[in-house]
Structure 1
Amino acid sequence: MDISVLWRPLTSGHLVITWLLLTVITGGRTQHTCNQCDCTISDPDNGEKAIINVKPKCLEGQITWLSSYGAIRLELNPQHAGEYRYCLRVQSENIKTIASQEVLSRTHGNYKLKIVNDVEVQLSPLFTTRGRSREFCISGPDPIHLYLETERSAEDTGVAKVKVFYDMEKTSSTLRYSPMEECRPCTDRELLRAYCSSDFVAVGSVDDVSHDDVEETSVIRVSVTRLLSQKEAIFKKPDNGWSRPHELKGGIHAPHLCGIKHGEGQFLFTGRVRLGRPVLHCAPRYEQWKSVLEMALFNDEVECSYGS
């Protein structure tokens, strides 16, 4: 796919579930509520394994888990009704992390057979990682509970540290996405919305495109000649190497399956920081964007201004 068209990635689909009985870690439970979108937690100083209950209050953010030798029970609850896509990505340093989803198994009672109602917690395995995991997503109308357990081996040296990136995005339960639709072009309306609401908006060119097989993403290296907006330092002056005056550099992620290729010319790059990395939303050619913007300004349809 040439990056010369409007582009809008969506997220991955559902997971295949395999059932396993829940294995409980010996040790106590501690409670931790993320009052911020990002929070830091750690296991007890006494070296005992513990299960730490974490309940973030934001729709997206990251949890930094230090001295990670026990387990985290992570509750993702958007607090509002509707269908949501819950996505997770993990970076595990000096330790292996095993991620599963908690699922309730219900047994209905039968008074004739003297069977009482019973609810059992089971684990549905999602992934195991030592290093960087790819993105995993689960869709559903209810809050989910994830269980992240660590396992240390003789080859693991140094301080154990795990970063958990989470994202809860409201979707429509009537939509069913296919791989082809994940890379469809943005409409003019979507482009105008992205221009005003994205975490980054910049004009620049593509230096190169590389592919990360572990995370199943493409990384687009960009030279920015005009930075309109960014919430985080995605595009910045390179520490070394040559660049033109006032030119900034940065990388943007996109799904590998879209087959993005190097395109010549200037583009308007828009997107959001998601699961700890900048992700491309729309990238029209700059000439095409100027045409869309001029028409929108004429019809008074632009809700923001960056002086362009």
Structure 2
Amino acid sequence: MRHWKTNSGLVWDSLSRAVQQVHLCCTEGLLEWLYPSKALRVILQPNLVNGKYSTVCIKPTSEFQGANMYVEKKGQLLLLPGEAGGVWKVHCFEMDKMQRVALFLQASPQKDLSRRTAGFHYEVLNNGHSGPLFHNSDHAQDSCRPCNDKELLMAICRNDFVVRGSIKSITHDVEAHVTQIDINTIKVYRQRSSIFQLDDASGIWAGHIRTFLQCGVKQGDGDFLFTGTEHFGNAWLQCAPRVKDFLEIYQAAKHLRTNPCNFQI
């Protein structure tokens, strides 16, 4: 479920010291606080049917201004760092025993009423499949590991996107520790959002996929089957076998009746 919520500081009683509290109950969404005034406490407490989701990740919007953001940890407020080089970092937090994360937004003093918006996107993730959003060396190394046959077959069935295509170019962003893979897509089998777009002029699908810089991705010829997850509007790579290798793995699993789903390529 997705949630979009907008609040405005202009409607508050200027004499009140009360902190307005907002509850967000969906597994992903966007909150926008227009004309920030005083403070806003945001409780991210999604309605979960099971306990597999245990992490919340937030990403401030590109136009975030007019407030400071804190996360509540054991009764203390920890300030989240602002943008670096014009880019806001994604922050991820473990949910507490009540399966929630509490954020505190405090408005900055303003001398005028010009429009400011303090907003952020959020996603609730499964720790075992949280993609690239935990920027630490251990998780990055795990993400760089090639998928085994079982992981590949499950990725084809469950991942946010599955596309067949070739590598057009590779760009390395040293500061962000990210590699971007631009691909020409022959076939889009599945995508959760519209990351891969069809060029009406050429009739070719195109898009780009991210991965960790330290994975050392290099240009490769031929057709690949790219699979992965989508986070905050970006596609992140999980498995990318060559098509001929995938066909061998899939046909062998199908013969043994161990393939978790049917897939037509």
Tell me the TM-score range normalised by the shorter chain: 0.7 to 0.9
* 1:85–1:169 Cα contact (<8 Å) kept: yes
Structure 2: distance between partners of 1:216 and 1:148: 28
How far apart are residue 257 of structure 1 and its match?
3.2
2:44 counterpart (76, 92, 95): 76
Alignment of 1:170-185 (within 5 A): 170-171=127-128, 177=138, 179-185=140-146
Q: Does the 8 Å contact 2:143/2:238 carry over to 1? A: no
Of 74, 80, 87, the match for 1:132 = 87
Q: How many equivalent pairs are there? A: 249
Preserved CA contact (<8 Å) 2:160 2:229: yes
What TM-score results when the alignment is normalised by the length of structure 1? 0.68
Q: 1:207 touches 1:223 (CA, 8 Å); kept in 2?
A: yes
Q: 1:146 to 1:250 in 2, by over 3 A?
A: same
Q: Matches of 1:307 and 1:42 in 2, distance apart?
A: 46
Q: Which amino acid aligns with 1:126?
A: L
Structure 1 residues 124 and 224: alpha-carbon distance in aligned structure 2, compared to 1, 3 A threshold: same
How high is the sequence identity, in percent, across the aligned residues?
25
Q: Which position in structure 1 is the counterpart of 2:132?
A: none
With the length of structure 2 as denominator, give the TM-score of the two structures: 0.78
Deviation at 1:269, TM superposition (A): 0.8
**What is the distance in 2 between the residues matched to 1:48 and 1:252?**
47
> Is 1:207 equivalent to 2:168 in the alignment?
yes
**Separation in structure 2 between the aligned mates of residue 180 and residue 296 of structure 1, nearest angstrom:** 28
2-structure distance, mates of 1:96, 1:87 = 21
Higher RCO structure (Cα 8 Å, ≥6 apart): 1
Cα shift readout 1:250-305 (whole Å, capped 9, x = no counterpart): 12222333232322221101112223322222111112111111112112223333
Is residue 84–residue 140 contact of structure 1 (8 Å, CA) maintained in 2? yes
Q: Which of the residues 102, 117, 122 maps onto 1:165?
A: 122
Paired residue type of 1:54: V
Q: In 2 relative to 1, CA 280–182 (structure 1 residues): closer, same or farther, beyond 3 Å?
A: closer
Larger radius of gyration: 1
Alignment of 1:220-235 (within 5 A): 220-235=181-196
**Are residues 281 and 178 of structure 1, via their aligned partners in 2, closer, same or farther at CA, if it must alter by over 3 Å?**
closer
Q: Which amino acid aligns with 2:167?
A: V
CA contact under 8 A between 1:95 and 1:150: conserved in structure 2? Answer: no
Which stretches in structure 2 are left out of the alignment for 5+ residues? 130-136
Relative to total residues, which structure has the larger helix share, 1 or 2? 2
In 1, Cα distance between equivalents of 2:175 and 2:41? 25
What amino acid does structure 1 have at the position aligned with 2:55? Answer: R
The answer as to 2:59 corresponding to 1:89 is yes
Q: Does residue 101 of structure 2 align to residue 99 of structure 1?
A: no
2:3 maps to 38
Classify 1:234/1:179 alpha carbon distance in 2 versus 1 (closer, same or farther; 3 Å): closer
Note the C-alpha offset of 1:99: 2.8
Give the match's secondary structure for 2:82. Answer: strand
Residues 153 and 227 of structure 1: is their aligned pair in 2 closer, same or farther, counting only changes over 3 Å?
same
How far 1:214 moved relative to its partner? 6.1
The CA deviation at 1:73 is 2.5
Residues 1:123 and 2:91 aligned together: no
Letter in 2 for 1:280: L
> Aligned-residue CA RMSD in angstroms?
3.3
1:131-280 → structure 2 map (5 Å cutoff): 132-139=87-94, 142=97, 143-151=100-108, 159-160=116-117, 162-171=119-128, 177=138, 179-212=140-173, 215-238=176-199, 243=202, 245=203, 247-280=204-237
